[in-house]
Chain A
């Protein structure tokens, strides 16, 4: 059974800092990995999707990498802003719908 772990559970950084969020998964037989953002009381916003054949994806200040063989992904956020404060969820899909980690709660302090 696929299990997804995210570290750290919470992170607080000053504005402008670069940061890395970590995600690991137990079964490397995945089709893709998605990173989502969730604001308090809201639904999910898809940030990046990495296919299993890809190594990374970039969107603006966000860069996500995937090392399928080791079961790891990272989300890099450059020059963080207070508006980046949210919970970031990592999820993987294989022969099943998305399986989620518990998320990293990010606070960017102005």
Chain B
């Protein structure tokens, strides 16, 4: 199993600013992901964080808006850039410890409010 922590747990930010969310896993994992959950909606995958290379983004998400780093097998960051109120969401980090058939674990989420 894997225990995932995220910082910050919540934040209130002004329009036009940027926020970096940190994700730490308690063990080495093969895959890390970032999801967004907009108010009243389900989870949408933003990107797969690749260790040592550029993240793989899903349709509708771009690197300039959501730059992602993954410097090692246990840590990743997601930055929400030039924020607008539409970016107000819960952002969740997720990871798999082994094969693609394994359980996918989730962090507690970061609740972002943009004013």
Tell me whether B53 is interfacial, beta carbon within 8 Å.
no
The answer, yes or no, to whether A97 is at the interface (CB within 8 Å) is yes
Chain B residues within an 8 Å CB radius of A36: 106
With A44-B92, A97-B31 already in contact, the answer to whether A89 and B42 are too (CB < 8 A) is: yes
Residue A46 CB within 8 A of the other chain: yes
In the bound complex, CA of A51 to CA of B102 (Å): 9
Looking at chain B's contact residues, the main secondary structure is: strand
Count A-B contacts at CB 8 Å: 51
In the assembled complex, the Cα of A31 lies from the Cα of B101 at a distance in Å of: 5
User: Does chain B have a CB within 8 A of A22?
Assistant: no
- From A41, which residue of chain B is reached at the shortest CB distance? B111
Please name all residues of chain A whose beta carbon is closer than 8 Å to the beta carbon of B107 when the two chains form the complex. Answer: 43
Closest Cβ of chain A to B110, distance in Å, is 10
CB pair A42 B108 closer than 8 Å: yes
Known: A41-B111, A42-B109, A43-B92. A97 touches B42 (CB 8 A): no
Chain B residue nearest to A102 (CB atoms) is: B42
Asked if A49 and B103 make an inter-chain contact with CB atoms under 8 angstroms apart, the answer reads yes
Residue positions of A touching B, CB distance < 8 A: 31-32, 34, 36, 41-44, 46, 49, 51-52, 89, 91, 93, 95-103
